[in-house]
Amino acid sequence: MNRTKTMRFAGKGAAWKAEYTVTHKDKVNAKQTIFQDELGGKLKLQYVGKAPLGSGRITYRLEDRNGRFSEGEIVAGTDYAVMKETLSTLDYGSLLDMMDPGKELTLAIDWESGREQFLLTLPPSLGFGRIPRKR
């Protein structure tokens, strides 16, 4: 049996837009009664600036309201669609907690021609399906 819980944080600045997906997977292996718990996040960056991006190092830091963070760097023109997480203290459990009010992340990006910082938030409404009406 597999159970998956996912939340997508998104945001946009003047030159970048980003999506951060936090996923929790529970896997139960009935034959060996092994419980495997996987928890992690993936950052997707997209350059939307008007000036050419060029090449060089792009560093990022994703931080929650409690000061926990994930940071890393990519090399433009070399690392195609790859995020290399180098350091992470983000508390994925609290990000997936529906009762936690701190549901926004701050993303700071530094690149050859600039620096930008903006918020990543959840969509305005989260739906869990329709509740059948009683007749």
Residue ranges of domains in the chain: 2-121
Q: Which residues, 6+ apart, have CB-to-CB distance to 2 below 8 Å?
A: 25, 26, 27, 28
Predicted TM-score (pTM) of the model is 0.72
pLDDT in the model for residue 72? 85
Going by the DSSP 8-state scheme, the letter that residue 15 receives in this structure is: S
- Whole-number Cα distances in Å, 24 to 1, 32, 42, 128: 14, 21, 12, 17
The listed range with the strongest mean pLDDT (51-55, 59-63, 67-71, 101-105) is: 59-63
pLDDT in the model for residue 130? 55
